[in-house]
Chain A
Amino acid sequence: MLGLLLGGPALAGDTEKARNIVTEVCSACHGMDGNSVIPNFPKLAGRHPEYLVRELKEFVSGTRTSAIMTPIAAKLDPDDFKALGEYFGAQKPTSGQVLDQKAAAIGMKLYQDGDEERGVPSCAGCHSSDGAGSKRFPRLAGQHREYLIEQMYNFRNDVRNYGAARLMREVAKRLSEDEIKAVAEYLTGL
């Protein structure tokens, strides 16, 4: 709580507490090191702590909904969010394996350059060229293709439409299904 108030890094006690929460609550799906091995559960390792805190708060407030995460986030103590964010942010992210090189090449072009004629922005503008993201935009590099594709449809279908996520609705609508798959394929391998 003190770390939260001061806005500085979590205290050692908070880190230990976060590790215990991860062990008991998060690790079954997201992995102890935040590198989930289950395609539908996102990898959290290496994400910016502030981004993770924001998403947890959104699950609690209901502005982001998930049949799985909504009840779990509701049971967590919001005072622990910061330490949890820092715990996962400090984990080393892993890359996935590209299975379709041709799709990944198409995805790379879209990710890095967008498509001007159709008003598709480059993804790199917000998520950065290496896919590392920032405090405002999530890390995408190495993420499971299945999870990425699911989220793109959540944006497109207005399931996930709070705040800046609303701009993703527009991006998802301007991409074809094959293009969404291609970008996800590229990102999995980053």
Chain B
Amino acid sequence: MLPAQERTPASADSGGQAWNELKGEKLQALGLKGDVARGEEAFKICQGCHRRGATGSNSGMYPRLAGQHATVLIEQITDIRSGNRRNPTMEPFAEEHVLTTQEIADIAAYLQALPIPPNLGKGPGTALARGKELYARDCASCHGDKGQGNAGKFFPLVAGQHFKYLVREARFIRDGSRGNANPDMARVIKSYGDDDIEAVADYISRLAPP
């Protein structure tokens, strides 16, 4: 893998933008102090899909957001709103007429503090050894040995995420359709077959969140 400073700033997937360029509203939201109580109120807009307690759903349509790093949440919400991450399902619900920049920071603070629910969607459990091997080789250096992610580097907490959501997003990232994929990750999983993606997603979905 190339060192971070040498990575291509504008991959085909990132729509000409460097991955997670800290500017504009993203930078502004990251600098705001999020308020948990206000975030709970503003999250009502989100819970019609992400469910009360931000559990997401086993179907993989909506990720679990409870316990996610606030920095990651701000990054993703502002990217979806700017179109940098392509998500036509969510974008209309995250536009500036619906949520203020402060509310994005509030929602992120609320979600980060939420307890992570147990028993989320898991895979078939048939290739866990392969999944463990791939995770240790390709994923752990960024997402952490326990899937805890890295708030400062905007790497999401992935442990215990819904299996089907992990599969869907990994495919988007591999196939270049997510929009704001980290180019390092896109490169690492470029050679993955669907079975590799499912094996590692199954392994991750069973990691106990911190």
Contact = CB atoms under 8 A, between A and B. Distances in A.
Interface residues of A, number: 20
B62 A124 contact: no
Interface size class of B (residues with CB under 8 A): 10 to 19
B44 A170 contact: no
A126 B57 contact: no
B41 interface: yes
A181 B47 CA distance: 23
B98 A166 contact: yes
B48 A116 contact: no
A117 interface: yes
A126 B92 contact: no
Given A116-B59, A163-B98, A125 B49 contact: yes
B89 A114 contact: no
B48 A126 contact: yes
A121 B93 contact: yes
A166 B81 CA distance: 14
A3 interface: no
Contact of B95 (A117, A121, A137, A166): A166
Contacts of B41: 134, 136
Contact of B57 (A116, A125, A166, A167): A116
B48 A166 contact: no
Contacts of A116: 49, 57, 59, 61-62
A104 interface: no
Interface of A: 114, 116-117, 119, 121-126, 134, 136-137, 162-164, 166-167, 169-170
